[in-house]
Amino acid sequence: MVSLDKIAHLAAECRFDSSGPAQGAALMGIDGAGVDAEKLRSLGEGTRHDVCASTYSPREKPLPGICHAFTQDGRCVSLFKTLYTNHCTHQCSYCINAIGCSRKTKAFSYTPEELARITHSLYRSNYIEGLFLSSGAGRDEDRITEKMIETARLLREKFAFKGYIHLKVLPGSSQAHIQEAALLADRLSINLEAASSTHMNEICSTKDYDNDILQRQRYIQQILKEGGRSPSVLPAGQTTQLIVGAAGESDEEIFQRVIHEYREIGVKRAYYSAFSPQPGTPLEKKAAQPLWREHRLYQMDWLYRIYRFRTEEISHAFNEDGFLSNADPKMAIAREFLDRPVDPNTATLPELLRVPGIGPKSARRIMAIRKSRPIGSKADLSAMGIAVKRAAPFLKINGWRDTTLEMWQP
């Protein structure tokens, strides 16, 4: 991973460009002055809660700078991840860029030309394959959106940039701006942040959940519909992100919202970011949410999207207060829904996928292998990469079963 420090160092020394320090400085900075390393660092660190990795990743500290994301074809790409500006007039009570934050950092902004050049230089030097551009709203979200669009336009038209561009849509951006952005970006996203308008009101008094966020999602959805799935219209679709635990919402409330997003809005992915308090914000004394909560939500997301678990199955993973425990939700669902051991020699794909320890790849491997020979033992399964220790209690192989589950004891 290339850290922000390294990018700042490269920027300060103008080593992004192979055209030499003097020319490099002119290319990199404003009026030939070079890029301000403090700005680069501040605007990079300002994105620490914007998630672009597609799964939970354990972390001691957020890692701003270059992040990794997955494209629609499953390829892992490195992205330059930054804010356009850290100036914002919204009052999100968890955010260090919010107007009410008592320890606000110095305000910085790029110019479109400057940011396009940095991105292009990083791209040309093979440090990145794309740009993940978010921003504070400045004094006016439409003005900042115009600058973000201009950055993307310069990249595409002036620098013939063929890399990936993910643009964050600012809450309340106009429909016309969203349409323009969609012509330049691979992916658009707008952060939901909260599970409902009631929860949003708990953490932000300046955003209208239905109008500023949900309505903008529908604009993107409409663009995708009108594009008729053309590969040139937002090929990576739209995504969203929620902060976990800032507004006191339960996991079930979060997940109900996410299911709605997948079904009704057509988002490609939802991302989860465990709340962590920031000094100087109104929520600085609120307890940080454990990272395992984020991790378990990603597992639930996987069960819903990839394993195609039904909502009534999913709902069994939550306790009566609507929270997940720090345990594999698939195991809890299997205990509730599997009414007899599964025979890998006869089970359907959905039945195999409901066994803990068996994922989509191993389920397909079982189905392919059993066409030529029966699966006769745990060792057979182990050789196929199945987590036999987890799977065995739920299996029956050629009449033999190994269950220690009380529910299936004779």
Q: Which stretch binds ligand SF4 (CB under 6 A): 84-92, 117-125, 305-313, 330-338?
A: 84-92
Smallest gap from Cβ 202 to ligand SF4, in A, equals 14
CA distance 227 to 214: 20
Tell me how far, at minimum, the Cβ of 98 lies from ligand SF4, in Å: 4
Closer of 27 and 133 to ligand SF4 (Cβ): 133
**Least Cβ distance, residue 367 to ligand SF4 (angstroms):** 46
Q: Is 243 in the site for ligand SF4 (CB under 6 A)?
A: no
Chosen residue from 27, 77, 88, 388 binding ligand SF4 by CB under 6 A: 88
Strands 238-244 and 269-274: parallel
The amino acid that residue 362 corresponds to is: S
Smallest gap from Cβ 177 to ligand SF4, in A, equals 16
- Give whole-number Cα distances, 335 to 298, 308, 407, in Å: 20, 17, 8
Q: Nearer Cβ to ligand SF4, position 91 or 125?
A: 91
Q: Which residues pair with residue 70 across a beta bridge? A: 76
Please count the helices (runs of H) and the strands (runs of E) in the chain. Answer: 16, 9
Q: Does 154 bind ligand SF4 (CB under 6 A)?
A: no
Least distance in angstroms from the C-beta of 89 to ligand SF4: 8
| Nearest of 250, 309, 310, 241 to residue 271 by alpha carbon | 241
For every residue of 319-370, DSSP letters joined together read -TTS---SS-HHHHHHHHH--S-B-TTT--HHHHHTSTT--HHHHHHHHHHT
Residue 48 within binding range of ligand SF4, rule CB under 6 A = no
Stretch that binds ligand SF4, among 52-60, 66-74, 89-97, 325-333 (CB under 6 A): 89-97
Q: Report in angstroms how near the CB of residue 95 gets to ligand SF4 at its nearest.
A: 3
Site string for ligand SF4, 114-153 (x = CB under 6 A): ----------------------xx----------------
Q: Does 95 bind ligand SF4 (CB under 6 A)?
A: yes
Q: How far is the CB of 250 from ligand SF4 (least distance, A)?
A: 22
| Strand residue runs (E) in 261-358 | 269-274
In SS3 terms, 191-237 reads as CCECCCHHHHHHHECCCCHHHHHHHHHHHHHHHHHHCCCCCCCCCCC
Q: For the chain, state the CA radius of gyration.
A: 24
Does position 98 interact with ligand SF4 (CB under 6 A)? The reply is yes
10: Cβ contacts below 8 Å, ≥ 6 apart: 16
Q: By CB under 6 A, name the binding residues for ligand SF4.
A: 88, 90, 92, 95, 97-98, 136-137
